[in-house]
Structure 1
């Protein structure tokens, strides 16, 4: 299969798999999953290609897809690739200013939108946009504005291709597609500054597929994949394309907040996710253990101890577990571990790629101890996702696995990770100066991440841009401290403050339910959440827990003061990116008064 395989991937698979199920999506009215066969998928992709040509979309023109995960996103993507059109995904939660910026920057004439929110934003932006010509709506339930007589529903858009015969035009474009064609421009949400459009060519995906073929050997036609992260995110996008390339079945989760329900309906064999998903599983299990007593509690604690000893102390280090340990492990596998997996909805689990942020060591140990194949990895939008990843028994706690085949890595100044290879972007869209800053003339891409390689495994230490320097001249890696503390069951979100300050402090969003339960159990009276978080007993509780967790850090790295916040960090207030990373500069502005108070003498 050529490197421009995205252009004919779905049609190629339809010839091979025909009436097998390729996709499923959830019908919220009947609460059932609707199957789509490979033949139906191919037919819809073909219709999209014809309709795009009927609209007059040119070779290598940019179109936008502003939607949460829906099958229509994939029909539109692959229909566009087949007629050499570039697709630009926008996060479903994007604000008007973000949408406006991307539409103008990429000169988008046609924007596909998902549900009511995306339509409303797009319609308001359309009046300000010089380029946007037409909005095409996926969800037929969307109510159009009374004065909107230009936008099209998706079903009407598909009919455009039937008005005359575009078959030859589609075929000739597909035949002319090459691996040097641009496939996507992915705008990174960025924790600093404005969005940058990362250009990914068909060759990037082709090289990524080849690299994954040699590593992910246990993925195949029988795998059922849950889509949970947004398709806009390179991790989910590249993974989903690859799963389709391997003939897997994709189950498309529309709303991220529904995942705990939908995962139990689908019971997938694989799902890529961010560490936050597993942190919540870990916190739930810790909570269960804390609420249990007697023999049941002893068994649960012993199961975790045995799992860690068997899978980490022995197997991870290439040693054979003793027979007694193996027998105990097998007993817990049939009882406690299997019950836990069934409760989450992953008892059919094959493996679970996890990346996008640092994975707390306690979480990684726990997941591996109970026999869940979490595949920790590292990647960037600029590298078409995976740079390195673990594989089944080939892992090290704290590492992000081995470098993918076809990539070169070297450690530069300040321990920065530099990469070179076919999966690396050719640059940022219309930003040549920035491209030259991050990609050297001989092709080395500066990741901005610091790390080191030991025994063939890559370890990340921190984000170079995120390193804080205290006013005493000491360097602090905030992510290391945050990752250590966020596993605590009383902490939901945390942001370290230290740059140009005398000492380290923290803004903490508590796990409100846990704090309220603690107050109830300890007969602490309060009027509202704000009042509760100012109670000396609650502050003392957090102080004690933070001091316990940060013992391993140097004195100057330890949190001296903290503020408990009555409201979580949110996208609405601009405090989180679309991938839920913290925008430190916004937090510093939004909580300026609280921060200053922590540094008062």
Structure 2
């Protein structure tokens, strides 16, 4: 087993619970703007002292409603200020938040609330209240449903007015790093979601490692307070870690509840973050929209040239950082400077104009896309983690990123590659096991190592490259084993293609189900003077098929014939979260898609 470790930092000792950082910050810097809250069409500051007082008041209200140390309380909502408020109020009294995705079906909600024995559930609106209400007869422990848009925070705060603060503090001092902080369910890409038991120490150790190891990434070059807009789902471990790190690090944080770019981009422009945590979907959408805008204005050639210069520029700096080259040549510097105002400045303006660094996780980001953003002045530091590792277990270091990899172990963590290529990890963020699944816990944990189920390799410098999932390996009828993830990612680099799912289990060759980006498709038709097509016309359009075939052929050039896609099928619409075909972190649920489109897959291998 090949192994690489990063030494823990001197300041990595973790004490107490997560809520302590709220009270400690308010004591040290009461006037620091800890959060910004969107109210009355503007971002309103919330100081550390104000946030502490709100947390304390809500915690008192929770006590009056019977929530006690160790109780589980579900939170079913999009990302918003009140979620963070409930997290810290619950942690202040030793209770355990259980996140539930707002799009979860009634059966999923029943399963999670029953398995965790939740005593109450916070919901966002009437629809979610009805979803929980529909299954509450099967949940004898559930004693309350609190609705955010009906003023539950104000009601709970008023209820706790007579409770002494000392009662909350007595609960808080009983919380230790080993205390359970949250039960977060896995995304369920390969089976039924399982609840991961994550402690206060798990979250704190990863957050502190990231804050210390990437301090220069988060710092604003103008000396302003670092600020980030949290738009990742707080029901996902990555969003949760972002929240914890921001509060522990004195980083100003705002909330936005939608990943869709049509609402996210205006929010970013108004908030103007200094850095971001994001998923590859965001970069893909921004890049595509920038390209479409250039084409619409008749400047596609300029954009394509600027794109290549950005990639060459970032590649040259990457080689220099690893002592494999001198950096950009004088001629490349001049070309890069020429495109700064024409292209790169405008790309950065989409994210508010102040972002110079982005942490990316959740799925694989293409190397060329990462190079483009780095060359445009926004370095993307790709990392890797699981729910079981409290998010980040590896990340590209700030001084020496290797684009296309997920970096090296974060401080205090180790990564190893088993004989079969599986990635094993250990560190302070690794969970203690799955709720009510001792056998699964034993299979995943060996001593202090976690078998991730991911496949990958380590280079000589300890950088990890992921190649797929063990459970997603396709075995063709000839016995060839193939990991589809990298091939899928290469197909998706084409501007028209939204999603690609490679199939071929027990089949003679690989096929692919492909969905199209509707905005990009509309733009493609308009640029060619073609009328907008309905679904049937789209599926039958010969020129469009040729365009997609070129994307598939380009991806096939990087693999052997046995690993290539021999046939593909265009689908009439994208895979969506609402249909149950995507996880909340926007990964494809392979089994669900294969079941939904079984006939289309069969037709790839007939005729």
State if a TM-score over 0.5 links the two structures. Answer: yes
Q: Report how far residue 273 of structure 1 moved.
A: 0.7
Q: Is the 8 A contact 1:207 1:423 kept in 2?
A: yes
- Is 1:13 paired with 2:25? yes
Q: 1:499 to 1:167 in 2, by over 3 A?
A: same
* Cα pair distance change 1:12/1:474, threshold 3 Å: same
Name 1:224's counterpart in structure 2. Answer: 227
* Aligned residue number for residue 246 of structure 1: 249
For 1:59 and 1:215, how far apart are their aligned partners in 2? 33
- Out of 577, 583, 592, the residue aligned to residue 586 of structure 1 is 592
- Provide Cα deviations, 1:471-504, integer angstroms capped at 9, x if missing partner: 1111111111111111111101111111111111
Task: Return closer, same or farther for 1:316/1:117 CA change in 2, 3 Å cut-off.
Answer: farther
1:238 CA drift (Å): 0.9
Contact 1:26-1:254 at 8 Å conserved across structures: no
After TM superposition, list the pairs within 5 Å mapping 1:82-161 onto structure 2: 82-140=92-150, 153-161=152-160
Which 10-residue stretch deviates more, 125-134 or 514-523? 514-523
CA distance in 2, matches of 1:504, 1:426: 39
Query: Partners of 1:97 and 1:55 in 2: how far apart?
Result: 26
TM-superposed deviation, 1:127: 3.2
2:464 equivalent to 1:458:
yes
Task: Tell me which residue corresponds to 2:209.
Answer: 211
Among candidates 463, 473, 488, match of residue 467 of structure 1 = 473
The Cα offsets for residues 386-420 of structure 1, whole Å up to 9 and x where unpaired, read as 11101333111221111112112222131111122
> Can you list the C-alpha shifts for 1:308-328, whole angstroms capped at 9, x where unaligned?
454334445554336624742
Residue 299 (structure 1) shift: 5.8
Q: Which moved more, 1:414-423 or 1:219-228?
A: 219-228
Structure 1 stretch displaced more, 10-19 or 284-293: 284-293
Counterpart residue number, 2:376: 370
Contact 2:503/2:510, CA 8 A, preserved across alignment: yes
Aligned pair partner of 2:494 in 467, 488, 491: 488
Unaligned runs of 5+ in 1: 142-152
1:239-318 pair list within 5 angstroms: 239-257=242-260, 258-288=263-293, 290=295, 292-293=298-299, 296=302, 300=306, 303-304=309-310, 306-315=312-321, 317=323
What aligned pairs does 1:423-442 form with structure 2 within 5 A after superposition? 423-440=429-446, 442=447
The whole-number CA distance in structure 2 between the counterparts of 1:137 and 1:523 is: 50
Secondary structure of the 1:256 match is coil
Any idea what the Cα deviations from partners look like across 1:13-47, whole Å, max 9, x if unmatched?
111221222111223xx322222111110001101
Residues in 2 aligned to 1:527 and 1:280: alpha-carbon distance in whole angstroms: 22
SS of the residue aligned with 2:188? coil
SS in 2 for 1:506: strand
Whole-angstrom distance in 2 between the partners of 1:281 and 1:596: 35
- Structure 1 contact 223–249 (Cα < 8 Å) conserved: yes
More deviation, 534-543/191-200? 534-543
> Distance in 2 between the 1:187 and 1:297 partners?
42
Equivalent pair of 1:307/1:329 in contact (CA under 8 Å): no
Shift of 1:159: 1.5
Aligned to 2:6: none
How far apart in 2 are the matches of 1:207 and 1:361? 29
Aligned to 1:195: 193
Match of 2:5 in 1: none
Alpha-carbon displacement from aligned partner over 1:182-221 (angstroms, at most 9, x marks no partner): 0111011211222201011111123213322431122357
The 8 Å contact of residues 311 and 369 in structure 1, kept in 2 or not, is answered as: no
SS in 2 for 1:251: strand
Residue 147 of structure 1: aligned partner: none
Contact 2:476–2:505, Cα closer than 8 Å, also in 1: yes
Q: Is the 8 A contact 2:313 2:332 kept in 1?
A: no
User: Greater shift after overlay, 542-551 or 10-19?
Assistant: 542-551
Q: Give the SS at the match of 2:63.
A: helix
Once residues 297 and 573 of structure 1 are traced to their aligned partners in structure 2, the CA distance between those partners, rounded to angstroms, is 36
Contact 1:415 1:450 in 2 (8 A): yes
Change (3 A) 1:306 1:193: closer
TM-score, reference length from structure 2: 0.91
Alignment of 1:168-187 (within 5 A): 168-187=166-185
Partner of 1:145: none
Cα distance in structure 1, aligned partners of 2:533 and 2:235: 42
Report the counterpart of residue 237 of structure 1 in structure 2.
Answer: 240
Deviations 1:295-344 (A, max 9, x none): 84586356435524543344455543366247426624752454234431
SS in 2 for 1:238: helix
Aligned residue in 1 for 2:53: 43
Partner Cα distance (2:68, 2:158) in 1: 19
Distance 1:244 1:301, change over 3 A: closer
Contact 1:311 1:368 in 2 (8 A): no
Question: RMSD of the alignment, in Å?
Answer: 2.3
With over 3 angstroms needed to count, the CA separation of the structure-2 counterparts of 1:563 and 1:231, relative to structure 1, is: same
C-alpha deviation, 1:138, in angstroms: 1.4
Contact 2:316/2:325 (<8 A) preserved = no
Q: Deviation at 1:345? A: 2.4
* Aligned counterpart, 2:568: 562
SS of equivalent residue, structure 1 residue 509: strand
Deviations 1:547-570 (A, max 9, x none): 123211111111111111112112
- Which residue is 1:146 aligned to? none
Paired position in structure 2 for 1:144: none
Contact 1:354 / 1:377 at 8 angstroms: preserved in 2? yes
Instruction: Indicate how the Cα distance of structure 1 residues 484 and 170 shifts in structure 2: closer, same or farther if over 3 A, else same.
Output: same
Cα distance between partner residues in 1 of 2:159 and 2:117 = 23
CA deviations over 1:261-317 (Å, ceiling 9, x no partner): 101111111111111111112223333455535984586356435524543344455
TM-score by length of 1: 0.92
Secondary structure at the aligned position of 2:215 is classed as coil
Distance (Å, rounded) in 2 between the aligned partners of 1:475 and 1:277: 31
How many residues are matched? 586
Distance in structure 2 (CA, Å) of the matches to 1:259 and 1:190: 26
Asked if structure 2 preserves the Cα contact closer than 8 Å seen for 1:25 and 1:253, the reply is no
Deviations 1:421-457 (A, max 9, x none): 22110101111111011112x2211100111111221
